Chains A and B, each alone.
Chain A
Amino acid sequence: MGQTSINLLIGVAAGFFGGLIGVGGGIVMIPLMVGVLKMKQHMAHGTSLVALVFTGLSGAITYALNGSVDIIAAVLLAPQQFLLPGLGQNLPIPCPKGNSRYTLGVF
């Protein structure tokens, strides 16, 4: 199988999953990129974030066609996130993630 078709398949899997449950699909994409394409962990994170924009767009359009998007709520949810990642962005590599991940797990 060619490289492109592998990429395409990963994309379909991630998009399908993301579109179905309303998330970005990184849960699927990152393990696949690391496992199948042998990418470095943070390379996979970066690439998955770019891809996530498209999952969001295409997924939101699909939901909007079915009348299931609340634009006002999305506008309220988004802007702080636009600003805050700047704070956290420098943390993920140096800090031990064990604790926060544990917390998120319980959550």
Chain B
Amino acid sequence: MLVALLLISKPYLPPIAEALTLWVKVVIFLLAGSFTGFLSGMMGVGGGTIMVPAMVLVAGFTQYTAHGTSLLAMVPIGFAGAYTHWRLGNVSTGILPGLILGILLGSYLGGSLAHLLSEERLRLIFAVILLWTGIKNLRTPKSKPKEKDKPTDGPVD
């Protein structure tokens, strides 16, 4: 939620990114990647919610580039996670064909729409969704005994 507020106020913040040298950025990317990897393994998040703000706020990427880069970086992560879950038998193969077809279509449409919107509006949408997920997480009751069987769930992207 803090990050969402930062994102909304981004145009009013001093541009940190321009002050940073290339190598500092490289280190930041490596750190953000590690942090994302750790969290995504622990909580099942794909990592976009962490990577995108990191790129926009720290590295000064445009919202479009941050989204595109996050999607690309997600492929190997998803692959690793998917492989582990596949081995454990946690993949429902029956629904995959329809699901994947839908996804290919949907993400093309979503990506195209993103480019039709202005950057401010796209950032606002992203921040609102981040806020919404954050609030949802805060409302999740703390450590219930049968957490894994709960029907609704939080931040998995």
Contacts and interface: CB of A to CB of B under 8 A. Distances in A.
Contact of B143 (A8, A80, A97): A97
A41 B153 contact: yes
A82 to B, nearest CB: 5
B143 A96 contact: yes
A88 B40 contact: yes
B22 to A, nearest CB: 10
A104 B131 CA distance: 11
B67 A22 contact: yes
B39 A104 contact: yes
A43 B59 CA distance: 36
B49 A74 contact: no
Given A9-B102, A73-B61, A92-B43, A35 B151 contact: yes
Contacts, number: 406
B46 A52 contact: yes
Given A7-B98, A99-B142, A62 B82 contact: no
A81 B33 contact: yes
A56 B18 CA distance: 29
A12 B103 contact: yes
B100 A54 contact: yes
Contacts of B136: 105
Contacts of B38: 84, 87-88
Contacts of A34: 151-153
Contacts of B62: 68
B102 A7 contact: yes
B108 A62 contact: yes
A29 to B, nearest CB: 8
Given A55-B71, A97-B147, A106-B138, A17 B26 contact: no
Contacts of A40: 149
A24 B48 contact: yes
16 contacts: A21-B48, A22-B70, A24-B74, A27-B157, A39-B92, A44-B92, A49-B82, A49-B91, A50-B82, A52-B82, A63-B67, A78-B77, A84-B41, A86-B84, A89-B81, A102-B140
Interface of B: 1-3, 26, 29-30, 32-34, 36-52, 55, 59, 61-62, 64-82, 84-86, 88, 90-92, 95-115, 122, 125-126, 129, 133-138, 140-144, 147-157
